[in-house]
Amino acid sequence: MEQIGLAAAGGEVSLWSLFIEAGFVVKLVMIGLLAASVWSWAIMIDKTLAFGRLRRAFDRFEDTFWSGQSLEELYRSLSDRKPAGMGALFVAAMREWKKSFERGARSPISLQSRIDRAMDVALAREMENIGSRLSYLASVGSAAPFIGLFGTVVGIMTSFQAIAGSESTNLAVVAPGIAEALLATALGLVAAIPAVIGYNKLSSDAGKLGGRMEAFADEFSSILSRQIDERASTTTSRAQAAE
């Protein structure tokens, strides 16, 4: 009869009932882990979609940039709106280029240095935007198992307190606390594993996007460097001819 009663009691156990019957601390741990997991999934989905849009924007910009369209026309079309990615690097470099020549820049070396710094600042800003909120995934991936372990410890303590209070080691006495402990551990892993996988994947994607922008910055810097040299050579020839 005792075995039948235990079986019946075990048949009524569900995840919801374990949550409802859990202690305050364990409930708080479970709610926190569930919230962290939901927010992690929201970040991963949002970043995956955002990176896809960025890749398509990079492809469109590169097609336009290498299509033969003049740099001035491309600059005018992009400067009217807020570009992102490669467009932001291009606009930053062209803005410094135009400001320098409007102010009568004479040193090709200092002009090239200012353009490179402008693109470096724009690149750092874009990489900060690309990598935003990824640190949260890393934090969840590293901290969630330990938070779940904390819930496990509290659940085991509840089991020992129940044993002490009932002065019995019957399985029906200790089972609820042990079940709470295992559920807290499981929720910690449920929150941590996707966050770690998502962080690794999105960090790799962010690195690839950053690599594409760095490659474009180097190529565009070379293009502007050649134009600066051509202008400097033309200015020197005119000065010699005037003498």
Q: Is residue 240 part of a domain?
A: no
> Judging by beta carbons within 10 Å of its beta carbon (0-12, 13-18, 19+), is residue 156 exposed, middle or buried?
middle
Structure tokens at 179: 């079940």
Structure tokens at 148: 């779940």
Alpha-carbon gap, residue 167 to 141, rounded angstroms? 40
Would residue 2 count as lying in a domain? no
* pTM, entire model: 0.79
Band the pLDDT of 1: cuts 50, 70, 90: very low
Average confidence (pLDDT) over 172-193 = 82
The per-residue pLDDT for range 77-133, each reduced to its tens digit, is 888 788 888 999 999 999 888 887 766 555 667 778 888 999 999 999 999 999 999
Q: pLDDT (tens digit, 9 = 90+) per residue, 45-58?
A: 999 999 999 999 99
Residue 51 lies in a domain: yes
For 228-232, the CB contacts below 8 A with 24+ separation are: 228/108, 228/111, 228/112, 229/108, 231/108, 232/108
Within a domain: 47: yes
Q: Residue 105 falls within a domain, yes or no?
A: yes
Domain count of the chain? Answer: 1
Residue 138 lies in a domain: yes
> Domain residues for 190?
12-234
Listed residue (147, 187, 130, 139) closest to 40, CA to CA: 139
d(CA 19, CA 103): 69
Average pLDDT over residues 208-213: 94
Residue 107 located in a structural domain:
yes
Structural contact between residues 36 and 144, judged by C-beta atoms closer than 8 angstroms:
yes
Query: Does any domain span residue 3?
Result: no
| Confidence (pLDDT) at 40 | 96
pLDDT at 11 > cutoff 50: no
- Note the residue count of the chain: 243
State yes or no: pLDDT of 20 exceeds 50.
yes
